Amino acid sequence: MRSGAAAGQAGIVHDTAFYDSDEQFLDVVLPFLQEGVAAGEPTVSVFGEPKLRLLRDALGPASSVLLIDGQGHYLRPAVAIQRHRQMMAGYVADGATQIRVAGDVPHPGVGVAWEWWARYEAAANRVYDDFPMYALCPYDTRTAPPEVLDHARRTHTHVVTPSGREPSSAFQDPHEFLASALTPVAEPLQARPALVDVIDPSPGRSRQAVAALQAVAGLAADDLNGLLVSTSEVVTNALVYGRGPLRLQAWADRGRIIVTVTDRGPGPADLTVGLMPGAGPGGYGLWLAHQTCSYVSMWRGPEGFTVRLVADSPGA
Amino acid sequence: MRRTGFVDAVDGLGQHDHICWVFHTLEQFRQAAGRFLTDGVAAGQQVIYLAEGASATELDHVAGFAAARMSGAALVQDLGIYEPLRPVDAAAQVAEYERATDQALAAGFTGLRVAAQVTPLARTPAQLDAFTRYEHHADALMIRRPFSAMCGYHAGELSAAAVAELASMHPLATPGSTPLRMFPSAQPEVTAVLAGEVDLAGRRLLHDVLRRVDLTPVDGAVTIDARDLTFLDHRGLFQLVDQVRARGATTVLHVAERSPVRLVAELLALPDVRLVMS
């Protein structure tokens, strides 16, 4: 039995809300969490400070709401999905009929590029749909840019307000949204001439070319290894699934390497690819990139399909 | 301690070393074999030079070889004795070298060393398959006995793919001969060593290698020393684990602390893979 607006529904119920004050935030989020607790449902909050403290104070010390610090939780969408799915699988195994999760997805208003989080919000409708998940993603209209607020309406089926819950008239099928809405984040480093520009490199040659930029970038060992794995996997995908010629370009600065891989093909049909592992061998390449890189962008353009991998080592 | 890796010289190899020497002219092979064998003579080993149609005096121009031949420390054999038109009988051949090693020891030598130009034994697909398997078993013999070998393959007479298949069964190989190598380990708890790099370019090769290497599980596990594996993509990890799984075993993977191999294996978190960091 599912409580609240999700009663009688299967799979994910994915709501958004908009607020411009702490009071409005609490007016929307507190009832959502308290209803879950009252219904005996696993109830999870994933907000960073200062919202975390606000909720902790409002809920009181005896609350059974699981308070996760969103700061560390929402670093990479593919990692967040993996953690949420593991967590929900555990709750379902223990007999839960609904899991409530409220959280704030990062965006440029808090210093994080939006693109792959927009993909996350659209993909959530699919990647969590095998769980009885009731999700609430509130956005702060004081900090979230207009594009983010627009995308929130287009990726959530309903909007919650203190006075009720209404269908979002802007909601789009995730596939339609992903095919049209996203523009890759601008990377100023790419305005410089590429330090690597190679046509049809093998995966091994691609790794060598990127590894050579370590002299400039000085990335931490794990960050470099993650980028080498990602580059190799994305080049392999382009060679196996894409259409030639394949172009590898890379840029580097202290603490940062950017790699783009472009092939002439249309790219994967499903642009949620990479957020979840695919089935079996061959289905993990983009997912590994999403697990290890600081940022991954994908787009279709006149020159074909491009994957851009960014590795950052702050303080390098 | 056996040496592993890619080398472009045969000097200074030890009593258990096994090298794949890919050459472009027979003279190149003779020169390298001469160095390899006279090193062996200097270390008190009995040595054998083995080549198609080899004449007894073929290496006499190499300093010290003629004298070693006169004393019985160096032997020259014609490859023709191995019936080069038929696939090698791996078990019989390994047993033969084990006997020869014992005889060398009984005669007062410190071990046996062979330099063999074996291209004619790997020309057809059936020969190639049999010979790669033989290389693996011979390598296991080299771990347990003071027996070392240099296996010469003519790059002009074999395809690059065939050379890679042969080279991949050796702990030591000439640079560029193969992207990956898999061979037995001197550590008893390790089933096999996988070294080099595994990606799209080595996909087919890894498939062949995994068919040929002895991956018999011990206590339900196949332990792979992957510390010298510098790269492994996710498809390669699946390939390896699938082969072990088919033997009803779990995969224990020894990996270097900071390596892409560890990263990929940790992220994939396959339920029947256990990582050991070193």
CA B33 to chain centre: 16
In chain A, residues with a C-beta closer than 8 Å to the C-beta of B259 are: 225
Cα–Cα distance, B198 to B181 (Å, whole number): 10
> Which segments of B215-273 does DSSP mark as H helices, in order?
234-246, 260-268
Cα–Cα distance, A95 to A108 (Å, whole number): 38
Is A233–B234 a contact, with Cβ atoms under 8 angstroms apart?
A: yes
Q: How many helices (H) and strands (E) does chain A have?
A: 11, 12
What does the block give as tokens for B104?
């060398």
Domain ranges of chain A: 4-180, 188-312
Backbone dihedral angles phi then psi of residue B147, each to the nearest 5 degrees: -135, 125
Domains belonging to chain B, first-starting first, are 5-176 (3.40.50.300), 192-277 (3.30.750.24)
Is B267–A225 a contact, with Cβ atoms under 8 angstroms apart?
A: no
Q: B257 near B227, Cβ under 8 Å?
A: no
Cα–Cα distance, A293 to A308 (Å, whole number): 10
Is A292–B263 a contact, with Cβ atoms under 8 angstroms apart?
A: yes
- A241 part of contact set with chain B, CB < 8 Å: no
Q: Which of B179, B201, B267 has its CB closest to that of A291? A: B267
Q: Tens of pLDDT along A281-297?
A: 889 999 999 999 999 99
pLDDT of residue B133: 96
Q: Which of A235, A294, A313, A306 is nearest to A266 (CA)?
A: A306
Cα–Cα distance, A301 to A259 (Å, whole number): 17
Cα–Cα distance, B180 to B228 (Å, whole number): 10
Q: Which of A207, A226, A236 has its CB closest to that of B263? A: A226
In chain A, residues with a C-beta closer than 8 Å to the C-beta of B207 are: none
Residue A203: count of CB within 10 angstroms of its CB: 24
pLDDT of residue A297: 95
Give the β-pairing of A247-253 and A256-263: antiparallel
Cα–Cα distance, A157 to A29 (Å, whole number): 17
Cα–Cα distance, A167 to A164 (Å, whole number): 10
A–B CB contacts, 8 A cutoff, strictly below: 54
In chain A, residues with a C-beta closer than 8 Å to the C-beta of B197 are: 204
Q: Maximum CA pair distance of chain A?
A: 61
What does the block give as tokens for B34?
């001469």
In chain B, residues with a C-beta closer than 8 Å to the C-beta of A311 are: none
Strand residues in A254-316 grouped as ranges (E): 256-263, 295-301, 304-312
Amino acid code (one letter) for A167:
P
pLDDT of residue A88: 97
Is A204–B235 a contact, with Cβ atoms under 8 angstroms apart?
A: no
Q: Which of B85, B77, B161, B168 is nearest to B115 (CA)?
A: B77
In chain A, residues with a C-beta closer than 8 Å to the C-beta of B258 are: 221-222, 225
- A271 part of contact set with chain B, CB < 8 Å: no
pLDDT of residue A59: 95
Q: Tens of pLDDT along A266-284?
A: 998 887 899 999 888 889 9
Whether the per-residue pLDDT at B64 is higher than 80: the answer is yes
What does the block give as tokens for A80?
């967040």
Q: Binning pLDDT at 50, 70 and 90, where does residue B194 land?
A: very high
Q: Tens of pLDDT along B82-111?
A: 776 678 888 999 999 999 999 999 999 999
> Which segments of chain B does DSSP mark as H helices, in order?
26-42, 65-71, 90-106, 125-144, 160-167, 203-212, 234-246, 260-268
Q: Do domains A4-180 and A188-312 have the same CATH topology?
A: no
Q: Hey, what CATH topology would domain A4-180 get?
A: Rossmann fold (3.40.50)
In chain B, residues with a C-beta closer than 8 Å to the C-beta of A82 are: none
- B197 part of contact set with chain A, CB < 8 Å: yes
Q: Maximum CA pair distance of chain B?
A: 61
Q: Chain B closest CA to A90's CA: distance in Å?
A: 17
- Whole-number mean pLDDT of chain B? 95
In chain A, residues with a C-beta closer than 8 Å to the C-beta of B238 are: 280-281
pLDDT of residue B278: 83
Is B231–A202 a contact, with Cβ atoms under 8 angstroms apart?
A: no
- A221 part of contact set with chain B, CB < 8 Å: yes
At residue A128, the 3 state secondary structure works out as: coil
Q: Which of A273, A300, A308 is nearest to A185 (CA)?
A: A308
The answer to pTM > 0.80 is yes
- A242 part of contact set with chain B, CB < 8 Å: no
Which of B267, B268, B270 best tests the A interface by mutation, with the highest count of A CBs <10 A? Answer: B267
Is A232–B231 a contact, with Cβ atoms under 8 angstroms apart?
A: yes
pLDDT of residue B84: 66
Beta bridge partners of B151: B20, B116
Q: Which of A229, A284, A285 has its CB closest to that of B263? A: A229
Is A228–B179 a contact, with Cβ atoms under 8 angstroms apart?
A: no
Q: A159 near A90, Cβ under 8 Å?
A: no
Residue A192: count of CB within 10 angstroms of its CB: 11
- Which stretch of DSSP H or E encloses residue B255? strand B250-255
Cα–Cα distance, B35 to A288 (Å, whole number): 47
> Which segments of A130-248 does DSSP mark as H helices, in order?
146-155, 174-180, 203-211, 214-217, 221-241
At residue A100, the 3 state secondary structure works out as: strand
What does the block give as tokens for B189?
């708890």
- B179 part of contact set with chain A, CB < 8 Å: yes
Q: Binning pLDDT at 50, 70 and 90, where does residue B209 land?
A: very high
Q: Which CATH number fits domain A188-312: 3.30.56.10, 3.90.1200.10, 3.40.50.720, 3.30.565.10?
A: 3.30.565.10
Cα–Cα distance, A242 to B34 (Å, whole number): 50
pLDDT tens per residue across all 316 residues of chain A: 899 999 999 999 999 999 999 999 999 999 999 999 999 999 999 999 999 999 999 999 999 999 999 988 888 999 999 999 999 999 999 999 999 999 999 999 999 999 999 999 999 999 999 999 999 999 999 999 999 999 999 999 999 998 899 999 999 999 899 888 888 888 999 999 999 999 999 999 999 999 999 999 999 999 999 999 999 999 999 999 999 999 999 999 999 999 999 999 999 888 789 999 988 888 999 999 999 999 999 999 999 999 999 999 988 7
What does the block give as tokens for A129?
């749909």
Is A281–B239 a contact, with Cβ atoms under 8 angstroms apart?
A: yes
How far from A270 is each of A89, A114, A182, CA to CA, in Å?
24, 19, 14
Q: Chain B closest CA to A236's CA: distance in Å?
A: 7
Is A232–B267 a contact, with Cβ atoms under 8 angstroms apart?
A: no
Per this entry, what is the length of chain B?
278
Q: B130 near B87, Cβ under 8 Å?
A: yes
Amino acid code (one letter) for B20:
C
Which residue of chain B comes nearest to A208, CA vs CA?
B231
Q: A247 near A234, Cβ under 8 Å?
A: no
Cis peptide before A266 (omega within 30 of 0): no
Q: A127 near A88, Cβ under 8 Å?
A: no
Which of B263, B268, B273 best tests the A interface by mutation, with the highest count of A CBs <10 A? Answer: B263
Amino acid code (one letter) for B150:
M
Q: Which of A121, A124, A115, A119 is nearest to A88 (CA)?
A: A124
pLDDT of residue B162: 98
